[in-house]
């Protein structure tokens, strides 16, 4: 794969797309409401170069959804925006997977800066699959380099602080931070495509392994086998320390307590059936928001997994999702390589 030239921390003078939701836009929990997982393994990233700075493109729909981005290599563009998170300061942080970088924007879609996802110690470029923020405002990014997989901690300005070496699996990972316990949680999938097994690895920031949730056990009962994760990707931790994992191989959402005890799973049938569940997050009320990728939906469940309602059904291939402190919902779209703020 050709090496990409990059500019780090480039700033773009853009005109923010300011939108003003009307008083008639309803609130679900704390999420402002506007009006698939790929069926095959993720293809190899295209070879391209990051060119000169380009202003972020955006448009504002009549349903009070702000959309910005589009496919490309220039700042403000994306190639497979695989993950998104939002800081307490309202910064949208996007893992731009095939461009091997993190990009940062305001909630109005204005480009702020970018940095390459380089692994400390060797300078390898890493394709990021997920990003999360810890209690100190640092970023944890999981991804794959040419011959290895890592979790790397960066400052928000892009300086690599430390890394955790991970097992080479060749499959995407998710990452979340339990700020109450100061733990870093990562999903891991092993095995071939006909016999996948998923786990959640729980680490301290120094790389010490605390526990493995869902560890494979040949003697496990049939009930436990039915509850097991098959191909987990995204993961989130709510305000009470509970953990939710989207399993695109099962497909369902698994819920665990903060100490790794299985609580429940949902999404297998009925109106709330999940097909290709991907991004997952929670709002301030504890509701669970899930990207139902193959159905092109973003849906809301309560903290017990009971279906509440469809948030949006108007995206082509939604992928990752995050909530902002002011109630906005931020969703990435893989087909259009865009970010939607609702």
Residues 6+ away with beta carbon under 8 Å from 302:
286, 287, 288, 308
pLDDT of residue 324: 93
How far is CA 36 from each of CA 3, 170, 278, 296, rounded to the nearest angstrom? 29, 19, 7, 7
Paired residues of 152 in beta bridges:
141, 163
CATH of the domain at 112: 2.120.10.30
Judge contact between 187 and 233, C-beta under 8 A: yes
Q: Which of the 8 DSSP states describes residue 242?
A: -
Does 22 reside within a domain? no
Does 249 reside within a domain? yes
Nearest to 107 by CA among 283, 299, 327, 336: 327
- Dihedral sign from CA coordinates of 31, 32, 35, 38: negative
Model pTM?
0.82
Separation CA 108–CA 212 (nearest Å): 39
pLDDT of residue 47: 42
Q: Which of the 8 DSSP states describes residue 4?
A: P
Does 2 reside within a domain? no
Burial of 278: CB neighbours in 10 Å, binned 0-12, 13-18, 19+: buried
Separation CA 335–CA 318 (nearest Å): 8
Helices (H), ranges, the chain: 222-227
- Dihedral sign from CA coordinates of 100, 106, 109, 111: negative
pLDDT of residue 63: 57
Judge contact between 164 and 141, C-beta under 8 A: no
Separation CA 95–CA 176 (nearest Å): 14
Residue 285 φ then ψ, to 5°: -80, -5
Does 167 reside within a domain? yes
Side by side, which strands form the sheet with 92-96? Answer: 81-86, 92-96, 101-105, 111-116
Judge contact between 234 and 279, C-beta under 8 A: yes
pLDDT of residue 336: 94
Q: Return the structure tokens found at 218.
A: 């040949």
Separation CA 283–CA 105 (nearest Å): 21
Does 336 reside within a domain? yes
Q: Which domain holds residue 305?
A: 27-37+53-341
Residues 6+ away with beta carbon under 8 Å from 220:
228
**Collapsing DSSP states into helix, strand and coil, what is residue 52?**
coil
Nearest to 279 by CA among 324, 316, 323: 323
Does 267 reside within a domain? yes
pLDDT of residue 217: 66
Mean pLDDT by 10 residues, the chain (342 residues): 42 42 36 38 45 45 80 98 96 98 97 97 93 96 94 96 95 96 97 92 97 76 68 96 94 94 83 84 96 90 92 88 93 96 94
Judge contact between 342 and 65, C-beta under 8 A: yes
Counted domains in the chain: 1
Q: Which residues of 142-160 are buried (b: 16+ CB within 10 A; e: fewer)?
A: bbbbeeebbbbbbebebeb
pLDDT of residue 225: 60
pLDDT of residue 22: 38
Does 1 reside within a domain? no
Does 294 reside within a domain? yes
Q: How far apart are the first and last CA of the chain?
A: 36
**Residue with tokens 């999404």, as numbered in its chain:** 267
């Amino acid at each position: 794969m050709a090496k990409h030239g990059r500019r780090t921390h480039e700033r773009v003078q853009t005109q923010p797309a300011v939108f003003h939701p009307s008083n008639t836009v309803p609130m679900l929990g704390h999420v402002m409401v506007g009006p698939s997982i790929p069926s095959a393994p993720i293809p190899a990233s295209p070879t391209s170069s990051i060119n000169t700075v380009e202003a972020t493109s955006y448009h504002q729909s009549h349903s009070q959804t702000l959309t910005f981005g589009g496919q490309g290599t220039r700042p403000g563009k994306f190639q497979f925006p695989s993950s998104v998170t939002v800081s307490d300061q309202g910064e949208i942080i996007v893992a731009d997977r095939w461009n091997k970088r993190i990009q940062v924007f305001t909630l109005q879609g204005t480009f702020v800066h970018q940095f390459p996802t380089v692994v400390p110690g060797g300078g390898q470029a890493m394709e990021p699959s997920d990003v999360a923020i810890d209690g100190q405002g640092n970023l944890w990014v999981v991804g794959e380099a040419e011959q290895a997989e890592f979790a790397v901690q960066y400052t928000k300005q892009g300086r690599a602080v430390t890394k955790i070496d991970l097992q080479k699996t060749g499959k995407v990972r998710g990452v979340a931070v339990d700020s109450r316990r100061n733990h870093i949680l990562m999903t891991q999938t092993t095995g071939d495509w006909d016999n996948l097994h998923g786990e959640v690895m729980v680490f301290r920031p120094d790389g010490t392994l605390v526990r493995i949730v869902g560890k494979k056990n040949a003697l496990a009962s049939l009930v436990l086998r039915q509850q097991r994760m098959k191909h987990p990707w995204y993961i989130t931790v709510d305000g009470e320390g509970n953990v939710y994992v989207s399993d695109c191989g099962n497909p369902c959402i698994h819920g665990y307590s903060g100490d790794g005890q299985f609580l429940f799973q949902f999404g297998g049938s009925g109106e709330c059936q999940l097909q290709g569940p991907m991004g997952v997050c929670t709002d301030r009320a504890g509701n669970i928001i899930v990207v139902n990728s193959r159905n092109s939906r973003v849906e809301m469940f309560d903290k017990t997994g009971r279906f509440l309602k469809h948030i949006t059904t108007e995206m082509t291939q939604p992928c990752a999702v995050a909530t902002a402190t002011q109630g906005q919902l931020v969703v990435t779209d893989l087909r259009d390589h865009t970010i939607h703020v609702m």
